[in-house]
Structure 1
Amino acid sequence: MKHREISKGVYALETGFVRVFLLEHEGVLTLIDTGIPGMGEKILSAIESLGYDRKALKHILITHFHMDHIGSLEEIKSRTGALVYVHKDEAATIGTVPATEAAPGIAKKLMFELLIKKSRQTPQPSVPVDVTLEGGEILDFAGGLQVIATPGHSPGHTSYFLSREGGILFVGDAASGGRLPGYPMLFNKKETAIRSLALIGNMNFEKAYFSHGKPIESGAPGKFRKAFGV
């Protein structure tokens, strides 16, 4: 599995379809998202290839419950015993069918109608959640990662902020990456998603890493404001 160290002890793992992130702090590992189904052992092997013990993985932070982000969650949890953290509003959607709508743009609307809409008509899967988050917490692991509630793509979508090197934001699917950030493929509620993008655009940080698309590694908030007019 391709990987890149984006900061000391912080790695972007390329699973092929979605990017997940590994953070090491004081010998303890934290994973942000788990990729599509069937990636669990590959992610754990990648952790070992970096010189870490898979059993050092103690925490799994979930951005949201879409299958490309939680597909290998149960597999990784069962093999490591790591605790699973998710925003309370996302946890509340288990067993429900959250509303979805296509993001702006002809290509995204077409993709939504052809590939996504039907899959969003099935109930959210049962997810093994150990800890629910409120937003605003500063975690006592992963170097003091801060929980940033960024709903809109999903009811309880969450981004994570690391106060280092000018600030690093793990955006999740609140936006997609590129020279300028773009809208995600779909919204749960467009108005809420726009407010989350405005929140990000007014934060103080330097680098943005996305689940999909290229990172922005300098001046990220200004590029959010330019892209979304927020």
Structure 2
Amino acid sequence: MGVSEVVPGLHLLPLGISNAYLWRHDGGVTLVDTGPAGSAPAIAEALGALGLRREDVRRVVLTHFHDDHVGSAAAVRAWGRAPVVAGAADVPVIRRDRPGPEPVLTPAERALHARVSTGLPRAPACRAATPVADGADLGGGAVAVAVPGHTPGSLAVHLPAAGVLITGDTVAEHEGGLVLGPFNADRGRAWDSLQRLAGLEADVVCPGHGQPVAGGAAAALRAATDPFG
């Protein structure tokens, strides 16, 4: 298992094509995203490697409704009934009450989308998902940041004391730099959300895909491009 420490208390957990993050604090663990369906054993293994139990997960934060991020939310919820939260506009999709909007793909995105979506299992419904508002306390000093655009209810997680932003797919890492994440439902709103994140002056950015960017991450966000636009 390739779990690695990003900053003290925060661990990156690669889960196939997407990342999850474990934020360890006095109240337990906040898990940000859950990977594709079938990732729960890998998450449990990562917890064990850190000397933690499954029951130590006290909250699950879903950055957006796409299957590669919410696929194991229901399975993790079953461990100890930790609250599962997401942006209000994405909750009905995660609960499978209705389908979510499809991304509006640019010509440059079409082949990439076909490649990464092939074989991706559909996420089971997570009926326990509940909405969380912009600015909400997510535990251990983590704060919810509304970043609509990639999906209508996309969230980022801000750890202001640690200088960290967990961005979901609003931001992606590419060749050591930061770019606007592809496959957006509303590209203009996603770009505006990236600019909001840049204004938070984080030192470390943890994207949903790719490696964290540490040291001067706010400047990297301000320099971010939209290579698929």
Structure with the higher strand share, 1 or 2 = 2
Which residue of 200, 205, 210 maps to 1:208? 205
Residue equivalent to 2:19? 19
SS of residue paired to 1:65: coil
Residue equivalent to 1:102? 105
Q: Deviations over 1:31-77 (max 9, x none)?
A: 00100111101211210121012111111010011110011111111
In 1, Cα distance between equivalents of 2:220 and 2:182: 19
SS of residue paired to 1:186: coil
Which structure 2 residue ranges, 5 or more long, are not aligned?
none
In 1, Cα distance between equivalents of 2:60 and 2:110: 32
Kindly indicate whether the alpha-carbon contact (under 8 Å) linking 2:137 and 2:144 is maintained by their aligned counterparts in 1: yes
In 2, Cα distance between equivalents of 1:33 and 1:80: 16
Q: Does 1:169 align with 2:169?
A: no
Residue equivalent to 1:58? 58
SS of residue paired to 2:5: strand
Listed as ranges, the matches of 1:16-55 within 5 Å are 16-55=16-55
Q: Does 1:160 align with 2:157?
A: yes
In 1, Cα distance between equivalents of 2:27 and 2:134: 25
Give 1:125 shift.
5.9
In 2, Cα distance between equivalents of 1:102 and 1:114: 13
Kindly indicate whether the alpha-carbon contact (under 8 Å) linking 1:149 and 1:157 is maintained by their aligned counterparts in 2: yes
Kindly indicate whether the alpha-carbon contact (under 8 Å) linking 2:74 and 2:125 is maintained by their aligned counterparts in 1: no
Distance verdict in 2 for CA 1:145–1:128, change over 3 Å? same
In 2, Cα distance between equivalents of 1:12 and 1:70: 16
Q: Does 1:224 align with 2:224?
A: no
In 2, Cα distance between equivalents of 1:156 and 1:185: 16
Distance verdict in 2 for CA 1:45–1:115, change over 3 Å? closer
* Letter of the structure 2 residue corresponding to residue 58 of structure 1: R
Give 1:127 shift.
2.4
Distance verdict in 2 for CA 1:54–1:115, change over 3 Å? closer
Residue equivalent to 1:3? 3
Q: How many residues align structurally?
A: 221
SS of residue paired to 2:144: strand
Q: Deviations over 1:77-104 (max 9, x none)?
A: 112321101111111444124131125x
Kindly indicate whether the alpha-carbon contact (under 8 Å) linking 2:164 and 2:203 is maintained by their aligned counterparts in 1: yes
In 2, Cα distance between equivalents of 1:77 and 1:137: 20
Q: Does 1:182 align with 2:179?
A: yes
Which structure 1 residue ranges, 5 or more long, are not aligned?
none
* Letter of the structure 1 residue corresponding to residue 17 of structure 2: F
Kindly indicate whether the alpha-carbon contact (under 8 Å) linking 2:10 and 2:21 is maintained by their aligned counterparts in 1: yes
Q: Once the two structures are aligned, what percentage of the paired residues are identical?
A: 25
Give 1:112 shift.
2.7
Q: What is the TM-score when the length of structure 2 is the normalising length?
A: 0.87
* Letter of the structure 2 residue corresponding to residue 220 of structure 1: A
RMSD: 2.3
Distance verdict in 2 for CA 1:48–1:114, change over 3 Å? closer
Distance verdict in 2 for CA 1:125–1:27, change over 3 Å? closer
